[in-house]
Amino acid sequence: MAAELVSRTDGQTLILTLQGAGGQHTLGPDVYAAGIEALNGAERNSDVRSVVLTGAGGLFSAGGDLVRLQASRALEGQAQTAGVDGLHDWVETLRTHPKPVVAAVEGVAAGAGCALALACDFIVAARNARFVLAYGRVGLSPDGGASWALAQALPRMLASEWLMLGDALPAERLHTLGLVNRLADPGAALVGALELCTALHERPANVLASVKELLAEAPTNDLHAQLARERAHFVANLRHANAGEGIAAFLDKRAPRFR
């Protein structure tokens, strides 16, 4: 059975939890649409400063529903691509969301579940968590932006090894490689993610949005273009009230009170 997405808030953080009756939190079109709707709502809600994506019961997600995918082989091409497009729309929404998104990973993040974690801005993972991109073991190639994320973050040889062999990689190795931001004790990934969100809430929301946008644009910009984008963001943020407060607080040797 495909997962459902359950939403709740913890202070200024929206927590989106994947859960399913089968305990594997397998992914499908309904949860993709729910994820996009939840993120769009969070973008409009000024009370929400950050988002955490996690899984229930000590598991992030086992990835795509192979039973559904097997059945989809008999469908026309347009119907097959529609399912992938739903996942990809969710990934793009995660990547372009103006507020920080943190993946809190326990247990296994596999296939599309791993791709979703990689699409977040930060990953907090339990030390015993495992990340699996074993598409090739079932005769499939990656989706969900996994190849893009790994090409951005890893040397080609490492990305090739992971995507072609499909071995499970422990969270501690990904932490060493820079793909996992923080490690937590088993069962404490969500707590660690919320602690990270609390630290992020101390920074101006407009600056966090600028950083996300600049990092997204940098891989396709040459230096001249990126400098121009940095200038535009810098000037816009200089004019924002948060810059006035931040500079004044620094000069006054006090904590800033950002909007």
* DSSP β-ladder status, 182-184 and 122-126: parallel
For the chain, give every residue range classified as CATH 1.10.12.10: 205-252
Per-block mean pLDDT, blocks of 10 residues, the chain (259 long): 89 96 85 97 97 97 83 76 90 97 98 97 98 92 95 95 96 97 98 98 97 96 97 97 97 95
**pLDDT score, position 1:** 60
Contact by Cβ (8 Å): 230, 237: no
**pLDDT score, position 218:** 96
Q: DSSP characters for the chain? A: -B-EEEEEEETTEEEEEEE-TTSS-BB-HHHHHHHHHHHHHHHH-TT--EEEEEESTT--B--B-HHHHHHHTTS-HHHHHHHHHHHHHHHHHHHH-SS-EEEEE-SEEETHHHHHHHHSSEEEEETT-EEE--GGGGT----TTHHHHHHHHS-HHHHHHHHHH---EEHHHHHHHTS--EEE-TT-HHHHHHHHHHHHHTS-HHHHHHHHHHHHHGGGS-HHHHHHHHHHHHHHHHHSHHHHHHHHHHHHTS-----
- Please give the CATH topology (third level) of the domain spanning 205-252: Lyase 2-enoyl-coa Hydratase; Chain  A, domain 2 (1.10.12)
Q: pTM for this one?
A: 0.94
- Given this structure, which CATH class describes domain 4-201? alpha beta
For the chain, give every residue range classified as CATH 3.90.226.10: 4-201
> Alpha carbon of 166 to those of 111, 124, 135, 150, 162: distances in Å?
10, 22, 7, 13, 5
**pLDDT score, position 21:** 64
- The rounded distance, in Å, linking the Cα atoms of 104 and 163 is 22
